[in-house]
Amino acid sequence: MKRLTTLMLAGSTALFASAAFAQHTHVNVAMQLEPPNLDPTAGAAQAIDSVVYSNIYEGLTRFMSDGSVVPGLAESWDISEDGLTYTFHLRDGVTFHDGTTMDAEDVKFTLDRARAEDSTNAQKALFANIAEVTVIDPLTVQVTLSAPTGALLFNLAWGDAVIVAPESIGEAATHPIGTGAFMFADWVQGDHINISRNPNYWGTPAVLETATFRFIADPTAAFAALMAEDVDVFVGYPAPENLPQFEADPRFQVLVGNTEGETILAMNNAREPFDNPLVRQAVAHAIDRQAVIDGAMYGLGTPIGTHFAPHNPDYVDLTGLSTYDPERSRALLAEAGLPDGFTTTLNLPPPSYARRGGEIIAAQLRAVGIQTEINNQEWAQWLETTFRGRDFGLTIVSHTEPMDINIYANPEYYFQYNNPDLQALMTTLNETTDPARRTELLQQAQTIIAEDYVNAYLFELAVPTVARAGIEGLWLNQPTAAIDLTAVSWP
């Protein structure tokens, strides 16, 4: 027995020694969900971008952690007077991980593929106004638009617009080949993905030599993995109630950043009784946002009154339109002809903002006479029945895409809001390049949907990142889903 203990001790010392040695060039990153595939240009899952954005794939432009858009593979660009022609000047000497050169042909291939009729790109709307992509010379590419698109440079920074090569795109779902500072190494499905430093990177090389992404969905397991130091960084840590413990522990640092995630109680605008604006207003007034933020998120999150990120300079604070006022809510229900309230379904996807928030919201709605039947759904089920099937009364979800107020212009979108005025406004917005005018239009749109009480706007989701003390270079905010490791280093 004693010998065994000694052996085990020796073994664990050896393990620790190697771990300590490896720490300076390797990082274990954990996130909640595993990506279904690794091709960001063909899948909608945020988890794909979390792994590949900036690490493996790069676009013509790119997001920084503060949400700004900066040059990526395009060094610079010229915009014609009428705003219809963008000429991108590509960086010289950029190669894909398989050794092939990245040039104007690849850009043309990428953009043509994304906007093609049979494209499986999850965000085809980003490319909708592109009329033609022309190769001028290997390092110059011209994008012609059918209508001025003020947000083109922003659109091209999305993970769905990264530059891919025709030679390697066939394998992208399982073996992504991009131009980034890291190369894909291997993927053991259900367990981890390894990436390693790209020695031929065109820009500042990554500090880390290798990194591992692990997927830990269960909050208890996430807590244990961090405490045992099995993972060094957890992006999107799922249990906000544990954050004070990590903050108090000198081994860890906690970063709380903002996201583009408008967390809303979505109402089925096409279904009775939510087709009545009075009922929607009653729901909005029945909800105590602060109680939801405190109860479900332990205080993490900024209240919002419309579908817009509060850290965006164009945000208008409209929370005053939907203050917590149960009396008013009951009066509105009576005015809508439902003095005794009604019963509806509340479909909840797995994240705690939905499951816990749902329990709190159900209690708040019950207080004004609205009974809810809670259905806890897994993501696949939620996407199938609630999102695509639109079979729901109420649901809670966080819309993490950046600048996605245009979803309100799509009457087919799951909450089925159909307002021609807003649709016209969004078309105008798309064609406007003047920043001041864009701000004005965006603010008008925010006000319209808030005054129409399309959905009940709860809070902007915060993203907590728990990391080992001393690790630097992590993104604080999540302007897009990304775990950019290119600047990450150990002390």
Partner 1 sequence: MSLPRTLILGALLTALFLGGALLSFVWTPYDIELLDIPNRLHAPDAVNWLGTDHLGRDILSMIMMGARTSIAVALLAVGIGMGIGVPLGLTAAARRGSLLDEVIMRGNDLIFAFPSLVIAILITAVFGAGASNAIIAIGIFNIPVFARVTRGAALSFWSRDFILAARVAGKNKARISVEHILPNIANLLIVQGTIQFSLGILAEAALSYIGLGAQPPTASWGRMLADAQTLASIAPHVALIPGLAIVLMVLGLNLMGDGLRDLLDPRIRVART
- Residue of 32, 41, 121, 242 that binds partner 1 (CB under 8 A): 242
Residue 489 touches partner 1, criterion: CB under 8 A? no
Binding flags for partner 1, 202-221, as an x/- string (CB under 8 A): -----------------xx-
User: Which residue, 229 or 241, has its beta carbon nearer to partner 1?
Assistant: 241
Residue 374 interacts with partner 1 (CB under 8 A)?
Answer: yes
Cα angle at 94 between 91 and 95, to 5 degrees?
160
C-beta of 483: minimal distance to partner 1 in Å? 22
Taking CB under 8 A as the criterion, the residue among 209, 230, 325, 359 binding partner 1 is 359
Q: Does 239 bind partner 1 (CB under 8 A)?
A: yes
Distance CA 67, CA 478 (A): 8
How many C-beta atoms surround the C-beta of residue 421 within 10 A? Answer: 11
Return the residue of 95, 101, 144, 376 that touches partner 1, per CB under 8 A: 376
Residue from 241, 317, 325, 391 binding partner 1 (CB under 8 A): 241
Burial annotation 49-76 (CB, 10 A radius, 16+ → b, else e): bbbbbbbbbbbbbbbebebebebbbbee
CB of 376 to partner 1, least distance (A): 5
Output 147 or 224, the one with its CB closest to partner 1: 224
Rule CB under 8 A: say whether 45 interacts with partner 1: no
Quick one: tokens of 402?
Answer: 């950046």
Cα–Cα distances in Å, from 356 out to 263, 295, 359?
Answer: 13, 8, 5
Alpha-carbon gap, residue 271 to 276, rounded angstroms? 9
How many whole angstroms from its chain centre is CA 242? 23
DSSP secondary structure letters along 373-401? EEEE--HHHIIIIIIIT---SEEEEEE-S
CB of 240 to partner 1, least distance (A): 9
Among 148, 205, 295, 326, binds partner 1 (CB under 8 A): 295
Residue of 107, 114, 125 whose CA lies nearest to 163: 107
Distance of CA 466 to the CA centre of its chain: 18
CB of 35 to partner 1, least distance (A): 24
- Among 119, 194, 302, 375, indicate the residue that binds partner 1 (CB under 8 A): 375
- Which residues contribute to the site for partner 1 (CB under 8 A)? 219-220, 223, 239, 241-242, 244-245, 291, 294-295, 356, 358-360, 362-363, 366, 373-376
